[in-house]
């Protein structure tokens, strides 16, 4: 466990957090897709799932931007 924390300590905190949040959302959307295969989702539920993908995608792009306070400094 200590080797994991050392490795995470060397990484950029914002990028690491964005990656783990992205993984969690992908897992949640995979579960949603699995459930949608067995039921009839409403158009609103499909739009909400696509909106979550857009939000997470923009958050990941924001975390990897070359801006102030990031790895580009």
3-state SS record for 56-72: HHHHHHHHCCCCCCCCC
Q: What is the pLDDT of residues 17-42, one digit of tens each?
A: 777 887 888 898 888 889 888 888 88
Q: pTM for this one?
A: 0.57
For the beta carbon of residue 56, count every other beta carbon within 10 angstroms: 19
Provide the pLDDT for residue 11. Answer: 72
Provide the pLDDT for residue 72. Answer: 55
Q: What is the pLDDT of residues 5-17, one digit of tens each?
A: 777 777 777 777 7
pLDDT band for 4, please (50, 70, 90 cuts). Answer: confident
């Amino acid at each position: 466990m200590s080797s994991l924390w050392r490795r995470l300590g060397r990484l950029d905190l914002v990028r690491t957090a964005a990656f783990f949040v992205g993984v969690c959302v992908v897992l949640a959307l995979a579960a949603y897709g699995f459930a949608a295969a067995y039921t009839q989702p409403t158009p609103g539920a499909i739009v909400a799932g696509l909106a979550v993908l857009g939000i997470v995608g923009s958050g990941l792009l924001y975390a990897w931007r070359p801006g102030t306070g990031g790895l580009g400094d």
